[in-house]
Amino acid sequence: MRRLTVFNHLSLDGYFTDARGDMGWAHRDDAEWRAFAEGNASGGSELLFGRITYEMMAGWWPSPMAATAMPVVAERMNGLPKVVFSRTLAAAAWRNTRLLKGDLATEVRRLKSEPGPGMVILGSGSIVAQLTQERLIDEYQVVVAPVVLGAGRTLFDGLTERLALKRTSERSFANGNVFICYELAP
């Protein structure tokens, strides 16, 4: 069974986007963080997105600016297989992307049962909350950034049940970011 991981940045006050839906506050670049991001991008996973995050990522990573700013990550993001879940998109033009329009939980259960690499959700708060509710996510990787936004969207908007997690690892960075991994508690 393939593993499904979430990787997202959170502000200290618990938001993954600010009140305008922007995630630019999460990018705190320095040599140590860049090396971590490049290593993380080389994991070989299949990327899963909701429509909003997909459109944002597809608008950035294939661009010349992304290739200049973060060449290793841009190459990996463009090369990895991707899935976008959307009932409104007509097509997914970003290289190596499949568009799935069926029921989210049913599609993810099917993907998890197929052979292949692990899967990672980036951004995509609405699908994170839905798949958390269905207990389909195996690991939560969060980067807590040293910023307070005051308002925005939480990663688990709409979750109706408490979810107990256990920390499996953590790492602090000189730029103030703290990377923490969680799995479901027994």
CA dihedral 64, 68, 73, 75 (to 10 degrees): 50
Q: How far apart are CA 126 and CA 88, in angstroms?
A: 15
CB 143 within 8 A of CB 159: no
Q: How far apart are CA 68 and CA 139, in angstroms?
A: 31
Consecutive H or E run containing 12 = none
Q: How far apart are CA 97 and CA 47, in angstroms?
A: 9
- 108: DSSP letter: H
Q: What is the pTM of this model?
A: 0.91
Host domain of residue 98: 4-184
Question: Which class for 102: exposed (0-12), middle (13-18), buried (19 or more C-beta within 10 A)?
Answer: exposed
Structural domains in the chain (count):
1
Q: How far apart are CA 128 and CA 33, in angstroms?
A: 24
CB 22 within 8 A of CB 16: no
pLDDT of 41 reads: 63
Partnered with residue 181 across adjacent β-strands are 141, 169
Consecutive H or E run containing 167 = strand 165-172
Mean pLDDT per 10-residue interval, the chain, length 186 residues: 93 93 81 80 82 93 93 91 95 96 96 94 90 95 95 90 94 94 92
Q: Residue 73 sits in a domain of what CATH number?
A: 3.40.430.10
- 102: DSSP letter: S
